[in-house]
């Protein structure tokens, strides 16, 4: 597996990141630890979790799996969501950050976190307070680097500007939803990340399982895509446009003798600005399928075909810029 540098830092991470949201839920502890062991054996060093995944159980399993190889692993977790039923039990205030990091460190059985990420923007807390608290954690040694997730472009840019103005540590990465069936990041965020050298580590790179090809046009009654709410609801995934994209993925998979999941992940691996897609697996079989995305490069003509079918409609100001920028 190739190694890449995460954003404007010297942090070396594997080209795929193992997501652990299912650990302790649909993936039992034994299989979860086995996945981490296999991932490391295959050259992976980047693990992503969060303090709210399975009410902290995911962090506990990850901690147990890596405690004897801690220095070899790049460990990422998150803070922001509700962890306690009181007014200060959520958000990214100094109080909640300081409480949450101690709880995560305990569950993870470590004394430091490599990448500590703000899970979602907090409209109640000034970003100056959040960044100062995170800067203090880096100074104390409890956190090595900081990142964010699910931000608007203006929120990321404001955060970077506040860090620069106050000489706080900067976000080196963002964790957004991004895949062939979810390319909203292309409107503004991707160009911002390229300009500011912020690493992009996408979640749901397979569209919540849609891009695996397991689903027909009939609305599912089981599985993640049977949800009526959230990003993986059938109303968002099972659209005509998404099935057109899936048809192109399946056609490419047949040409390349790969699976749809491998094609979808490999397309991301070769997209400019993407550092390390975060893939999850409920079973060891799904894990093995996903790992087949590395070690080969998609022919440019097929990559372009997938890029074209999944691209966002032409929108202002991009279409304006594309038309008139050529005259200068």
Strand order in the sheet with 17-19: 199-200, 171-175, 143-149, 113-118, 74-79, 46-48, 17-19, 278-279
215 is catalytic: no
CA distances from 70 to 1, 144, 233, 249 (A): 19, 14, 36, 37
Residues 6+ apart with CB under 8 A from 195: none
Q: What pairing do the DSSP bridges indicate for beta strands 171-175 and 278-279?
A: unpaired
Q: How far apart (Å, rounded) are the C-alpha atoms in residues 206 and 287?
A: 13
Q: How far apart (Å, rounded) are the C-alpha atoms in residues 146 and 18?
A: 18
Contact 277, 268 (CB under 8 A): yes
Q: How far apart (Å, rounded) are the C-alpha atoms in residues 179 and 260?
A: 13
CA distances from 122 to 157, 165, 275 (A): 15, 20, 25
Q: How far apart (Å, rounded) are the C-alpha atoms in residues 151 and 185?
A: 10
End-to-end CA distance of the chain: 42
Q: How far apart (Å, rounded) are the C-alpha atoms in residues 283 and 26?
A: 8
**Catalytic residue, candidates 53, 145, 178, 287:** 53
Q: What pairing do the DSSP bridges indicate for beta strands 12-14 and 3-5?
A: antiparallel
Specify which residues 79 forms β-bridges with: 118
Q: How far apart (Å, rounded) are the C-alpha atoms in residues 54 and 26?
A: 10
Residues noted as catalytic? 53
């Amino acid at each position: 597996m190739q190694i890449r540098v995460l954003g404007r830092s010297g942090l070396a991470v594997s080209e795929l990141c193992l997501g652990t949201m299912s650990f302790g839920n649909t993936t039992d502890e034994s299989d979860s630890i086995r996945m981490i062991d296999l991932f490391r054996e295959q050259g992976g060093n980047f693990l992503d979790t969060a303090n709210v995944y399975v009410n902290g159980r995911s962090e506990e399993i990850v901690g147990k799996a890596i405690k004897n190889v801690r220095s070899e692993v790049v460990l990422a977790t998150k803070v922001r969501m509700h962890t306690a039923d009181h007014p200060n039990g959520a958000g990214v205030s100094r109080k909640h950050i300081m409480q949450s990091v101690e709880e995560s460190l305990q569950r993870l059985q470590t004394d430091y976190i490599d990448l500590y990420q703000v899970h979602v923007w907090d409209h109640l807390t000034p970003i100056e307070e959040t960044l100062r608290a995170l800067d203090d954690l880096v100074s104390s040694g409890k956190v090595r680097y900081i990142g964010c997730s699910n931000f608007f472009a203006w929120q990321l840019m404001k955060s970077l500007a506040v860090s620069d103005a106050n000489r706080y540590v900067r976000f080196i990465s963002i964790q957004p939803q991004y895949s062939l069936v979810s390319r909203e990041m292309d409107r503004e965020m991707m160009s911002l990340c390229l300009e500011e050298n912020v690493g992009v580590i996408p979640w749901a790179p397979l569209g919540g399982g849609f891009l695996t090809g397991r689903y027909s046009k009939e609305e599912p009654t089981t599985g993640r895509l049977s949800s009526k709410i959230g990003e993986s609801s059938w109303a968002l995934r099972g659209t005509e446009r998404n099935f057109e994209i899936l048809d192109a993925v399946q056609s490419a998979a047949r040409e390349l003798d790969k699976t749809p999941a491998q094609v979808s992940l490999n397309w991301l691996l070769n997209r400019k600005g993407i550092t390390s897609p975060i893939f999850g697996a409920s079973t060891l079989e799904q894990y093995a399928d996903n790992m087949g995305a590395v070690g080969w490069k998609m022919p440019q003509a097929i990559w372009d075909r997938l890029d074209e079918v999944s691209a966002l409609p032409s929108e202002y100001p991009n279409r304006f810029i594309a038309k008139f920028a050529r005259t200068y």
